[in-house]
Chains A and B, each alone.
Chain A
Amino acid sequence: MNNKKSKNDLALGICSFRIWGTLGWHDIKQRYRRSILGPFWFTLSTAIMAVVLGVLYSNILNQEIADYLPFLAAGLVVWQFMSTSVLEGCNIFIASSSLIKQIDLPLTVYACRAVWRNFIILLHSLPIVILSLLIFGEMPNEEIFLLPFGLILLALNAVWLTVALGILCARYRDVLPIVSNFIQIAFFFTPVMWSPDILKGRSWIATYNPLYHLIEIVRAPILGKTILIESWYWSISLVFIGFVFSQYLMGRYRNRIAYWL
C-alpha cells in the first residue's frame, strides 16, 4: 500500500486539481487581500520594470526600442516565472511541513499549488508584453496560437522541477543556496536582456542553454516569430526526462520526506 502511494504520488497529485487549484488561487487572494490593485500589482511592476530597463538597455546595447522593449518584457516575465518556481520549489516541502505532518495528501499537490500560483502571476503579467507590442504599432500574428502550448510546456517543466528540488532540498539544506547562486548567474548567461543575435561566433551559449529554449517557446509566439524546432525538442524532452527523474525520486523517497521535515 505504501509503495503504491509513493509510485502514484505524481499522477495523483497532478490529478487533484481541485485541491491545488483552490489553494493556489487562495494564496493569490490572500497576498492581495487588502490592496486595491490586487494581483494587478504584478502587471504594474512588470510594466515599470520593462519600461525602465527597456529604455536604458536599448540605449546601452544600441537596439531599436520598438524591437527591444517587447523582447525584454517577454523575457523578463518568463524569467520571473522560472526563477520563482525554482526558488519556491526548493522550499516547497519545508514550507508546507505543517500540513504534510497533519494530512495525508499526495506531496505533488504542494508543488502544483506553487506552480499554479506563479502561473496566475505570469498570466497577469503577459498583457504588458502584448501592450508593449501594440504601443509600437505591431500586432501579434498567427504565431500567437502556439502560445498556449508554450505556456503548458513551461508549466509542466516547472512542476517536475519543483518536485525534484523540493525533495533534494528537504534532505540536503545546502541545495537552496547552491541553486539560488546558480539562478543568479544563469540570468546573465541566458538571452533575457540581450538578444542571441549579438552572440555571433558564441551562439552555443544560447543553443545549449535549456533555459533559453524554455523562454523562447513563450517569447517567440508573442513576438510573432516562429519557434525554432530545437526549442520544441529541448522543452519537450526536458518534460520527459524531468518527469522520469522526479518519478524516480518520488518512488524512492516519497515516504522519507515527512521524516526529513
Chain B
Amino acid sequence: MKTLISAENLTIQFPIFENSHRSLKKAIFNVSTGGKIGQSAGYPFVTALDDLNFKFEEGSRIGLFGHNGSGKTTLLRVLSGVYAPVKGRLNINGRIASLLDVSMGLDPDATGFENIYLRGILDGLRPARIRSKIDEIAEFTDLGEYLNLPVRTYSSGMMLRLAFAISTSVEADILIMDEWLSVGDQSFSAKASLRLEELIGKSSILIVASHDQSLIERICNRQIVLEQGRIISDQSIPKGSVKSV
C-alpha cells in the first residue's frame, strides 16, 4: 500500500470544562492568536483546526508555517494519532514516527540503557530488536559509561543527546517533527544533522512545523501556512529557491 495521508473537512475542537466558562461566554471571536472560541452544549470550546482538506503523497516534504497557536502542533498531534477528528475524516497509510517531544517517556531515575529499552518497548519493538539497536544508539551518543548511570546525573546536553539518539533510531514511512532538532556542541550538532537528514531521506513523507522560513525552503517541497486553524496558503516550493545553509 502506498504511503498516503488525506484529510477531508478535518476539524478539531477542544472542550473547555473550567468553571469559569461563564465569563468566556462573551468571548471575542477572531482573536489574533489562538483558534476561534465558540460555544456549544453548555461549555465553550476552542476550534484548533477548522475544516482542513489536504492530501500528502509519497515524496511530500511538508513545511507547516504559522503563528503561535495557529494549530501547527495540534495538526502534528492529530497526524500522530493522539487526537481523533471531531468532524471530518483522516486517512493515514503508513507507519508514523513522531519526534514531537524527543524526551518523551524519559525516566530520570532510570539508566541510559534502561531508557533506550523502555522507549523501544513503547514503540512496540521486540526485545531482540531493541538489543540490536542499543549498541548503535550507544555509539552514536558517545556517552560511554554514562549510559549505566541514571539519566538525572546527566547534563542537559547529554540528556538531549540520548533523547535525540533514541527518537531518531526509528524506522517509519511518515516522519512528524516539531521544529528542527538541533542538539549539543558543534561537532555533535553536525553529526546530529547528518543523522536527521538520513532519517528524513528514508521516510517517504515528512511533515515539519517550523517558524524558520529558510529551513522550510531548504528541506521542504511544499509549504502550508496555517492561521487560526485554517489553511490560508498551500503551495509547492519551487526547486530553484533551494538555498544552501
> A residues within 8 Å of B by Cβ?
1-2, 5-6, 16, 18-19, 22-23, 26, 30, 33, 98-105, 255-256, 258-260
Contacts and interface: CB of A to CB of B under 8 A. Distances in A.
Interface of B: 14-15, 17, 77, 80-85, 90-92, 96, 98, 100-101, 104-105, 107, 109-110, 114, 117-118, 121-124, 126-127
A98 B101 CA distance: 10
A84 B98 CA distance: 34
A18 B121 contact: yes
B104 A258 contact: no
Contacts of A256: 84
Contacts of B82: 100-104, 258
B80 to A, nearest CB: 6
A55 B91 CA distance: 64
Contacts of A30: 107, 109-110
A33 B96 CA distance: 34
**5 smallest A-B Cβ distances: which pairs?**
A104-B81, A255-B84, A102-B104, A22-B121, A2-B84
A100 B104 CA distance: 10
Given A102-B101, A259-B83, 16 more contacts: A2-B90, A18-B127, A19-B122, A23-B118, A26-B114, A30-B109, A99-B104, A100-B82, A102-B98, A102-B100, A102-B104, A102-B105, A104-B82, A104-B96, A105-B122, A260-B17
6 contacts: A18-B121, A18-B127, A22-B121, A30-B110, A98-B104, A103-B80
Contacts, number: 66
Nearest to B100: A102
A1 B127 CA distance: 28
A23 B121 contact: yes
Contacts of B122: 19, 23, 99, 103, 105
Nearest to A18: B121
Contacts of B92: 1
B118 A103 contact: no
Contact of B14 (A98, A102, A104, A259): A259
A104 B124 contact: no
A18 B130 CA distance: 13
B121 A19 contact: yes
Contact of A26 (B14, B80, B81, B118): B118
Contacts of A26: 107, 110, 114, 118
Contact of A2 (B15, B85, B100, B105): B85
A22 B92 CA distance: 29
A1 B91 contact: yes
Contacts of B127: 18
Contacts of A33: 109
Contact of B15 (A1, A5, A259): A259
B19 to A, nearest CB: 11
B62 to A, nearest CB: 19
A41 B123 CA distance: 32
A20 B226 CA distance: 38
Contact of B124 (A19, A259, A260): A19
A169 to B, nearest CB: 13
A17 B124 CA distance: 11
Among A1, A5, A30, A255, the most chain B Cβ lie within 10 Å of the Cβ of A1
A103 B101 CA distance: 10
A18 B120 CA distance: 11
A6 B83 CA distance: 12
A260 B104 contact: no
Contacts of B91: 1
A22 B105 contact: no
A259 B82 CA distance: 9
A260 B118 contact: no
Among B84, B109, B121, the most chain A Cβ lie within 10 Å of the Cβ of B84
Contacts of A102: 80, 82, 98, 100-101, 104-105
Given A2-B84, A23-B121, A255-B84, A99 B114 contact: no
B177 to A, nearest CB: 13
Contacts of B77: 101
A103 B100 CA distance: 9
B119 to A, nearest CB: 10
